């Protein structure tokens, strides 16, 4: 029952306007959804055989072949090359840094070396085998945000060329009138901060990590930023030489070199009047890397609509198939399988294809199913799709993304992340209430989930987009149980081998 309650919200999306007869048929189609079949897809995709489905790996190729064959078996037409292929091929550049790098911070009188992995993690956006930064001044730029609509500028038009910037994660939250209070906007994202630093001509940018500001612990930085990192081959946007992270404890030691207190700096950064601060600290670092090109691919299948005119329009369902591959062993396990994140989402995508295809009268609009590549690397597959669409973007009326499916119990509600940006929330909520359920907006807006999964790239090009997740209200459980159980899961399993 709990499986169908989740799926019916997604499945009857854009079925409004159907006759009662078709609604009954939709109910019959829901009987195609079998929890044991959902589980079987997850068990295969998250098996050790697939080695964590890292971009460019053997396991990723197996996963994409599996998804394509499932799409084919459920009657989806190939979505590439005028129906000739299910695969949208793309090339990525993989960069893997040496793990013996040391961040050296110093003044005239003293110095501290910050150890890779435990205190500091560094990466380079520059595709060079050897990168060296020597005696670079460090400037604290608060949150590193330029937001004219809030009359906010952390840079104050000061020249940052050749500098390394120290930046607070997230965005200012003390004033509810600014940056929507505790809700994380795109300004709070690490990718915004690195991109802005590069556009300012900085040599590097180091983000101060705290569990609260990131929404996850340091172990997620370790699992996500250590090892080979990928980018689209054709990405020409400027990059800093050093993309770094420091733990909060290491950051305190770092700023104390210049006689500063981290909490005081945090407080100063909450004001519009904040000005960049030269910390009187220099850094040096040497990094070596290996660079290669790999091929990856989105998997795309199409169910053609039944209405002569409306079939030209399409609703896109997305879910990413990749995960982190093989990494640092934890409890003697080095395979980051990604069962919940996101074998469950792909299992859902496949199962919806089966249910949609079972309809005697297909949806009026066409349905495009996209299993995206490289989401864990920075939403690369969905980025590539919107830059190289296989279907006219102006004919795509909505994107519904699935990134991890409820495994915790029978839900009373559904969380619609990004629901405030369009009328999609209202549509889903109306259907949910017919089932004695209800929808809620993002329950943890400070985590910035809307910017962390594939629907964001569709939203950036003007397509109404949401990310459907489980809420925190569960049948038979006390208030607050859902929040605690998901927080516990995230702390223990998110981006870890235990998923």
Which pLDDT tens digit goes with each residue over 149-165? 999 999 999 999 999 99
Task: Quickly state the pLDDT bin for 18 (edges 50, 70, 90).
Answer: very low
Is the per-residue pLDDT at 10 higher than 90? no
Q: What is the pLDDT of residue 13?
A: 47
Q: Quick check: 169 pLDDT over 90?
A: yes
User: What is the tens place of the pLDDT at every residue in 192-206?
Assistant: 999 999 999 999 999
**Residue 434: pLDDT over 90:** no
- Per-residue pLDDT, averaged over 20-42, amounts to 75
pLDDT at 156: 96
pLDDT at position 2, please?
A: 45
Q: What is the pLDDT of residue 358?
A: 86
More confident residue, 350 or 21: 350
Q: Which of 121, 120, 123 is nearest to 112 (CA)?
A: 120
State the pLDDT at residue 260. Answer: 98
Sorted by where each starts, the structural domains of the chain and their CATH numbers stand as: 2-92+292-493 (3.40.630.10), 95-291 (3.50.30.30)
Can you tell me which residue has the tokens 């004695």? Answer: 436
Q: What integer pLDDT is reported at residue 371 of this predicted model?
A: 98
Check residue 31 and give its pLDDT: 73
- Window from 136-140, 155-159, 256-260, 429-433 with minimum mean pLDDT: 429-433
Residue 23: what pLDDT? 64
pLDDT at 482 over 50: yes
Q: What is the pLDDT of residue 164?
A: 98
Write the pLDDT tens digit of every residue in 211-230: 988 888 999 999 999 989 99
Mean pLDDT of all residues belonging to the chain: 91
Summarize the confidence of residues 127-132 as an average pLDDT. Answer: 95
Residue 83 has a pLDDT of 87
pLDDT of residue 296: 97
Q: What is the mean pLDDT of residues 246-269?
A: 97
pLDDT of residue 427: 85
Give the per-residue pLDDT at 16: 36
Residue 183 clears pLDDT 50, i.e. is over it: yes
- pLDDT tens, 259-271? 999 999 999 999 9
Can you tell me the mean pLDDT for 134-144? 97
């Amino acid at each position: 029952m709990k499986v169908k309650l989740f799926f019916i919200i997604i499945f009857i999306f854009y079925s409004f306007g159907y006759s009662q007869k078709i609604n009954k048929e939709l109910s019959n189609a829901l009987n195609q959804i079998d929890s044991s079949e959902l589980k079987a897809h997850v068990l295969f995709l998250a098996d050790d055989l697939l080695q964590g489905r890292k971009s460019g790996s053997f396991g990723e190729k197996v996963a994409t072949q599996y998804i394509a064959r499932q799409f084919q078996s459920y009657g989806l037409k190939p979505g590439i090359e005028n129906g000739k292929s299910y695969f949208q091929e793309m090339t990525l550049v993989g960069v893997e840094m040496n793990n013996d790098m040391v961040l050296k911070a110093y003044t005239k009188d003293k110095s501290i070396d910050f150890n890779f992995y435990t205190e500091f993690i560094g990466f380079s956006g520059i595709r060079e085998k050897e990168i060296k930064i020597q005696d670079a001044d460090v400037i604290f730029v608060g949150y590193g945000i330029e937001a004219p609509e809030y009359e906010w500028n952390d840079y104050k038009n000061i020249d940052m060329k050749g500098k390394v910037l120290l930046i607070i994660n997230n965005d200012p939250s003390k004033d509810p009138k600014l940056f929507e209070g505790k809700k994380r906007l795109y300004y709070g994202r690490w990718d915004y901060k690195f991109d802005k630093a590069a556009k300012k001509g900085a040599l590097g940018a180091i983000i101060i990590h705290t569990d609260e500001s990131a929404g996850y612990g340091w172990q997620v930085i370790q699992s996500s930023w250590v090892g080979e990192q990928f980018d689209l081959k054709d990405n020409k946007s400027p990059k800093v030489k050093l993309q770094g992270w420091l733990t909060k404890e290491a950051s305190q030691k770092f700023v104390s070199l210049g006689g500063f207190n981290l909490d005081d700096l945090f407080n100063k950064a909450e004001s519009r009047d904040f000005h960049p601060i030269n910390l009187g600290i220099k850094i040096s670092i040497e990094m070596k890397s290996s660079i290669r090109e790999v091929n990856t691919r989105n998997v795309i299948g199409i169910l053609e609509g039944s209405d002569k005119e409306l079939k030209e329009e399409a609703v896109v369902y997305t879910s990413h198939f990749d995960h982190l591959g093989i990494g640092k062993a934890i409890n003697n396990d080095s395979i980051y399988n990604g069962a919940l994140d996101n074998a469950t989402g792909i299992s859902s995508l496949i199962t919806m294809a089966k249910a949609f295809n079972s309809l005697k009268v297909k949806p009026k609009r066409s349905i495009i199913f996209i299993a995206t590549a490289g989401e864990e690397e920075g939403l690369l597959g969905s980025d590539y799709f919107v830059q190289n669409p296989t279907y006219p973007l102006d004919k795509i009326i909505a994107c519904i993304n699935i990134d991890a499916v409820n495994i915790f119990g029978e839900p009373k509600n559904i969380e619609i992340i990004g629901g405030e940006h369009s009328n999609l929330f209202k549509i889903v909520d109306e259907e949910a209430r017919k089932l004695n359920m209800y929808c809620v907006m993002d329950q943890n807006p400070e985590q910035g989930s809307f910017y962390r999964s594939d629907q964001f790239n569709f939203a950036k090009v003007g397509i109404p987009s949401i990310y459907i997740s489980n809420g925190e209200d569960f049948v038979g459980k006390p208030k607050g149980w859902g929040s605690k159980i998901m927080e516990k899961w995230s702390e223990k399993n998110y981006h870890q081998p235990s998923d």
